[in-house]
Amino acid sequence: MLYIVTVNAHRDKDLDCLIELRGCKPQKYGRVFELNAKDVNACNDKNNKNNIKVERKPDIEIRENFTYTFPAHCYSYRNTTSMKYAKTRAF
């Protein structure tokens, strides 16, 4: 199983990233989970427990080379298949 965990620490800009998988045949789809909030300064407290939450996103198509957009100020997690090598590049 391959897990890709990323952080886009930019306050305002989404990040388009090319992901290259080598040495494997990926599954057709992968699951995506994101930890994010509407406001970069948001926090959870006893009155607002879901300002920041993990959200399951629609599954994405996985190929040997694919692009994913990481939302501003978020932590993202994707999982797909086992592999030998992964390379990511932001543009």
Can you tell me the distance from the alpha carbon of 31 to that of 59, in angstroms, rounded to the nearest whole number?
5
Nearest C-alpha neighbor of 55 from the set 77, 28, 80: 77
Confidence label for 16 from pLDDT (cuts 50, 70 and 90):
very high
Can you tell me the distance from the alpha carbon of 58 to that of 30, in angstroms, rounded to the nearest whole number?
9
pLDDT the model gives residue 85: 44
Q: Taking the model in full, what pTM does it have?
A: 0.73
Confidence label for 51 from pLDDT (cuts 50, 70 and 90):
confident
| Percentage of residues of the chain with pLDDT beyond 70 | 84
Confidence label for 75 from pLDDT (cuts 50, 70 and 90):
confident
Can you tell me the distance from the alpha carbon of 58 to that of 47, in angstroms, rounded to the nearest whole number?
29
Q: How many CA atoms lie within 13 A of 44 on its CB side?
A: 9
